[in-house]
Structure 1
Amino acid sequence: MKLELSYDEVSTIAAALLAKAMTAERNALKCAKLDGMDKDVKFWQERAETYKKVYKVIEAQFGQACKECEQADAEVKEE
């Protein structure tokens, strides 16, 4: 299934992923300060990494889509 998103939707998703990653990192730091919270630290660190990975994929695909649109616009202008 191919998902079609607008520029605003992609921007919102990217911002939300970044916010989630930052929150997960903060939670990991909070847990690290408390004794006996090693499992929680690991959990939040893994969450942060997952959000970052997805954010990078979204940004890369969005960047590629923008390049393709720019190329298509340039081709239309040449005609």
Structure 2
Amino acid sequence: MKLELSYDEVSTIRRALLIKAEEAADGALECAKLGDMDNAVKFWQERAEAYRKTYEAVAAQLEQADKEYEQVAAALKEEASV
């Protein structure tokens, strides 16, 4: 199923994912500093990695959309000048 989102929505999602990845990484670091159980550290590290991977996928899709937009804009501009 393809989901249609606006540019602003995708930008917001990217920011939220990055924040969540950073929070999860901080959680892992805090657990490690406090000497918490290895399972807690592993849990936060896995969450951070999942958020980071999702962020990277969304960022790549946004970059692709930007390129496609630029191509369409250039084509329209060329058509208008003819």
TM-score bucket of the superposed structures, by smaller chain: over 0.9
Q: Give runs of aligned pairs for residues 1-79 of structure 1, distance below 5 A.
A: 1-79=1-79
The normalised TM-score by structure 1 is 0.95
The one-letter amino acid of 2:33's match is: K
The one-letter amino acid of 2:70's match is: E
The one-letter amino acid of 1:41's match is: V
Q: Percent identity?
A: 65
Shift of 1:35: 2.8
Q: How many residues align?
A: 79
Which structure would you say has the larger Rg?
2
Runs of 5+ unmatched residues, structure 1 = none
Shift of 1:33: 1.6
Question: Could you report, residue by residue, the CA deviation over 1:35-54 in whole angstroms, capped at 9, with x for unpaired residues?
Answer: 34100000000100010000
Question: Could you report, residue by residue, the CA deviation over 1:16-67 in whole angstroms, capped at 9, with x for unpaired residues?
Answer: 0000000001110111022341000000001000100000000001000110
Instruction: Return the alpha-carbon distance in structure 2 between the equivalents of residues 27 and 19 of structure 1.
Output: 12
Would you identify which runs of 4 or more consecutive aligned residues in structure 1 move more than 3 Å? none
